[in-house]
Amino acid sequence: MTPMMVDVRERKAMIIGGGRVAFKRAKLLKDHGAYVTIISPHIIEELDQLLRCFQITWKNKKFEPADLSGAFIVVVATNDHKENERIAAAASEVPLLNRADGGDGGNLHFPGIVSRGKLTMAISTGGASPMLASRIKKRLEKEFPSDYENYVAFLFECRQLLKQSGLSKEVQHDFLERMLEESYQDPTFQQKLLMEIHKAREEK
């Protein structure tokens, strides 16, 4: 498996199954702007609440191949292995196919994810130990607390400013390196560096 980032905005995502795994995938895909449809004769309470809060379609029925029409991504997440096999075979033409049960035919695994604004860390063990992925995820969540996203936003702002600055590549590179020094996690120092970049741009 090759790690990649996929843009699912305004793409059709079909999730077959209505349990805990379906809930996790529906939330993730909806958060990233996909049009999500759940196909399952039964859904858990958390999923029911998610449907009420967000625009997610629920087809209260068992899977049929016609359900896959126009799908960009299919998540096979029923608790019936034979049924999962049948769905995966019917979805062979769908660009992205995930099998929550790890069975054959899929070309996509969901990793453990830690997001801090524009920073994304994804952990996959390739089926060796999802629990290890979960442990590593918890370690990363501690190492990068939720306010780390502000620092990432600062880095983004600096880099955008530099790219439009007309400053020489060498000077840009110096700033790009400097902004990674630990002191710039402090908002006061961030402001100082932003002002320095503005000044360098004006004096150019």
Ligand X SMILES: C[C@@]1(CC(=O)O)c2cc3[nH]c(cc4nc(cc5[nH]c(cc(n2)[C@H]1CCC(=O)O)[C@@](C)(CC(=O)O)[C@@H]5CCC(=O)O)C(CC(=O)O)=C4CCC(=O)O)c(CCC(=O)O)c3CC(=O)O
Ligand Y SMILES: NC(=O)C1=CN([C@@H]2O[C@H](COP(=O)(O)OP(=O)(O)OC[C@H]3O[C@@H](n4cnc5c(N)ncnc54)[C@H](O)[C@@H]3O)[C@@H](O)[C@H]2O)C=CC1
Binding site for ligand X (CB under 6 A): 24, 98, 100-102, 109-112, 124-127, 129-131, 133-134, 137
Q: Which is nearer to ligand Y, 60 or 168 (CB)?
A: 60
The CA–CA distances, whole Å, from 58 to 52, 55, 71, 104, 132 equal 10, 10, 15, 26, 33
Three-class secondary structure of residue 162 per DSSP: helix
112 near ligand Y, judged by CB under 6 A:
no
Least distance (Å) between residue 164 CB and ligand Y: 42
Q: Which is nearer to ligand Y, 39 or 197 (CB)?
A: 39
Question: Percentages helix, strand, coil for the chain, rounded to the nearest 5?
Answer: 45, 15, 35
Among ligand Y, ligand X, none, the one that 62 touches (CB under a kind-dependent 5 to 8 A) is: ligand Y
Q: DSSP class of residue 102? A: -
Element (DSSP H or E) covering residue 50: helix 45-53
Among ligand X, ligand Y, none, the one that 68 touches (CB under a kind-dependent 5 to 8 A) is: none
Q: Which residues in 131-190 contact ligand Y (CB under 6 A)? A: none
| Closest residue to ligand Y using C-beta atoms | 19
Q: Which residues in 15-44 contact ligand Y (CB under 6 A)? A: 16-22, 39-43
Q: Which is nearer to ligand Y, 20 or 173 (CB)?
A: 20
Nearest to 112 by CA among 141, 77, 145: 141
Task: Establish how many alpha carbons lie within 13 A of residue 191's alpha carbon, considering only the half-sphere containing its beta carbon.
Answer: 2
Least distance (Å) between residue 195 CB and ligand Y: 47
